[in-house]
Structure 1
Amino acid sequence: MTHDFDLTGVFPAMCTPFDADDRIDFETLRADARRLEAAGVAGLVPVGSTGESATLTHDEHVRVVEAVVDAVDDVPVIAGSGSNSTREALALSERAAAAGADALLLISPYYNRPEQGGLREHYLTIADAVDLPQIVYNVPSRTGQTIEPDTVVDLASHPNVAGYKAAEGDLNAIGEIVERTRDEAFAVLSGDDALTLPICAVGGAGAISVAANVEPERTVAMVDAALDGDVERARTRHHDLGPLFRALFCETNPIPVTEALAIREDYPPHLRAPLTRLAPENRDRLESVLDAYDGADATTAEVNAP
């Protein structure tokens, strides 16, 4: 079927909180979902890369989706449900749908490095079987293989393939995908906070954002300005957020963003092995960046930290 699903705006890629005994902290997870919803985001994305999906069991994965769905009132939940195995990704997608997810985010198969035909068949298998809007996620730095524009454009014609999360860092390819899918019910979303403004400028619809976990109001203000065509205001917001964008990727995501939440919120700093806590020198840098935002208006700040 054709879904009437709006993929415009900012969708935080949520962290998964763990307690000191390595168990999921569902109380904090629900509170975090409610905090982000109250900040005005367009939707939430649990159990993606930022949510440490690679270290969750399938049952834990589904329970996280259920908890976020239950916690929010008015925003859609886009569940990460990808895998390097098509069979496993299909099973996770079916379970996420049963758990109440409104849409799915599907990372491309990692490690296997399939050819473009294999990528196409992977996504079509899930799109044919699961009747939810689905977002194709391209992040070759994690998967070892990029999804080429021709493949994305081909997939965009499927009624259940609703969008594309662009984290390949290639604005030429991203712009080509936007250009060639303008006649489709298809949204291109930034998957790289530092490139959200340029991607919106070429026709992107918003972002699945790490930074929005920490500064949701400012991130929403930047994207809203970009989508409204207010270039000067969007550029100002982008530069205000630039130090945060850089600090949140000084180590592997989600190490810095989890630490940022621990600094800012009543949030546990624990990650699952093999991820480790943020190095002390990077924590000092991150804390300096966050201090520059604290006490400032929610949509503007003078940030001079490196």
Structure 2
Amino acid sequence: MTALDLSGVFPAMCTPFDSDERIDFETLQTDAQRLEAAGVDGLVPVGSTGESATLTHDEHVQVVEAVIEAVDDVPVIAGTGSNNTREALELSERAADAGADGLLLISPYYNKPEQRGLIEHYETIADTIDLPQIVYNVPSRTGRNIEPDTAVELAAHENISGYKAASGDLGQIGEIAERTTDEDFAVLSGDDALTLPTISVGGTGTISVCANIEPELTCAMVGAALDGDYARAQDLHHTLGPLYRHLFVETNPIPVKEAMEIRGYGPARMRSPLTRLSEEYREDLEAVLADLEDESARAGTTDASDGATVEGDR
């Protein structure tokens, strides 16, 4: 297995659709290039933010191939999870054949397996696919928490390289980081508002929704935290705080796709049953995005006068 550095910022990419709800591959590739140029450490297409639940298996693979083709020098980690182990294995094999550098595997949802079932599920895929794999824990979507003992057991597998933490339980996240210190295992935040706290208890970065909109500021915050400059990281965390909150006023990725459209990065179209952002939230989101544009401009001017850029702080 080729090693994969799972530290830094990995945007959970959106999947843009045209007016006929077909994938807009040109916009997808342009967006991948924008994010790479902003200094992110990798890209994560076809996860929850990429509306994987409404894509066919062929579309999954096509999105992964398009992102790989678009970028020059960042790893692409494909979302390939399912509540059906055979289906997750098939998606993972196809992503590997397409050239993915790693896999992000949401835990099986709806059927609510026991912890022993989760271990069997992940080990089946890890035994078969020789790529770095990230276990993704998001109980609010799956109905089942991946317990610390389970995460620690999985961390011992040579192909299971990381854990995306979206439980909201910082004590649990810190315990997993603590108990896997001796493993080659990364703990990544899956909740933008908890990225800085996660790094403070041993995390290595974030698979981020916010980074789709503010990649430079997110990279600067994570870079400062990983360098131990918590004063600067805290300032940037607070700067991004209003965006964190506004990106989750409705189900992800509804708000982030609206923000993408406001910024001109891609259409806000969703596939049913997801819907456009409610009008009551759009004006506030526009105001937050305008404030951040002003903040980014000021930061760029200030850092340039010091001989550095925001991205350069990473």
TM range (shorter): over 0.9
Give aligned pairs, total: 300
Shift of 1:268: 1.2
Query: How far is 1:266 from its partner?
Result: 4.2
User: Displacement, 1:269?
Assistant: 1.5
RMSD of aligned C-alpha atoms? 1.1
Summarize the Cα distance change of 1:57–1:231 in structure 2 as closer, same or farther, 3 Å threshold: same
Query: How do 1:153-302 and structure 2 match up within 5 A?
Result: 153-297=152-296, 300=299
Measured in 2, the distance between the counterparts of 1:81 and 1:191 equals 16
Q: Is the Cα–Cα contact under 8 Å of residues 31 and 265 in structure 2 kept in the other structure?
A: no
How many angstroms does 1:296 deviate by?
Answer: 3.0
For residue 48 of structure 1, what is the aligned residue in structure 2? 47
> Cα distance 1:147–1:298, how it changes in 2: closer, same or farther (>3 A)?
farther
Q: Which residue of 2 aligns with 1:129?
A: 128
Distance change >3 Å, CA 135–CA 266, structure 1 → 2? closer
Residue 6 of structure 2: aligned partner: 7
Runs ≥4 residues deviating over 4 A: 298-301
CA distance in 1, matches of 2:249, 2:152: 33
Please tell me whether the aligned partners of residues 9 and 220 of structure 1 are also in contact (alpha carbons under 8 angstroms): yes
TM-superposition CA deviations, 1:280-300 (whole Å, max 9, x none): 111111001001012333585
The 1:266/1:166 distance shift into structure 2, 3 A limit, reads: closer
Q: Give the structure 2 partner of residue 87 of structure 1.
A: 86
Amino acid at match of 1:4: A
Mapped partners of 1:130, 1:267: distance in 2: 33
Specify the alignment match of 1:142 in structure 2: 141
5+ residue gaps, structure 1: 302-306
For residue 296 of structure 2, give the secondary structure of its aligned residue in structure 1. Answer: coil
| Residue 115 (str. 1) matches residue 114 (str. 2) | yes
Residue type of the alignment partner of 2:172: A
Identical columns (%) = 72
For residues 113 and 195 of structure 2, the distance between their equivalents in structure 1, rounded to whole angstroms, comes to 28
| TM-score normalised by L of structure 1 | 0.97
Cα distance change of structure 1 residues 145 and 300 upon mapping to structure 2, 3 Å threshold: farther
**1:304 match:** none
Bigger helix share: 2
TM-score by length of 2: 0.94
Partner secondary structure for residue 237 of structure 2: helix
- Distance, in Å, in 1 between the alignment partners of 2:199 and 2:97 is 33
Distance 1:103 1:266 in 2: 25
